[in-house]
Amino acid sequence: MLSTLCCLAVCYLLFAVYFYENEKINLREKLSLINDYWNPRIIGELNGQYLKLVKFVGPFTWHHHETEDEMFLVVKGRFRMEYRESSDNSSEPGEQKQVWLEEGEFMIVPRGVEHRPVADEEAEVLLSNRRQR
């Protein structure tokens, strides 16, 4: 238990950034500290939006966000965003579609759209979504 708490404290200190004007953040450096998948780390906040870094591999679970859009920017690697269009029958998922995102590309998933990122190989991604209140 203590080692877990120490590990969490170290991770927090590694990723905690006290934001002052004109402070720069090196994405490669921050991403090099991440050794797990599907565990976003907050690296900043901008106008009520969290900026997070995460590494992906494999599929994530299908989900949606009721009240917020979500932005995905590929820093390194590539992944596909699978999403489902709304159907007329709300108890059944709609038609499934996908979009491939390459390094330097981003997309915004609108609130309410069911989606899941899938990475066949490791992808490094910057996320942005609204801070939970």
pLDDT tier at 11, thresholds 50, 70, 90 = very low
Q: What is the pLDDT of residue 6?
A: 45
Q: Tens of pLDDT along 68-91?
A: 999 999 999 999 999 997 766 666
CATH code at 116?
Answer: 2.60.120.10
Residue range of the domain that includes 51: 2-130
Q: Is 11 left (phi over 0), alpha (psi -120 to 50) or beta?
A: alpha
Report, as an integer, the average pLDDT of 38-45. 95
Domain count, the chain: 1
CA 35 distance to own-chain centroid: 15
Angstrom distance (rounded) from CA 30 to CA 10: 13
Angstrom distance (rounded) from CA 133 to CA 123: 29
Q: What is the pLDDT of residue 101?
A: 98
Higher local confidence (pLDDT), 86 or 37: 37
pLDDT tier at 18, thresholds 50, 70, 90 = very low
Angstrom distance (rounded) from CA 49 to CA 132: 9
Structure tokens that stand for 24 in this block: 């720069």
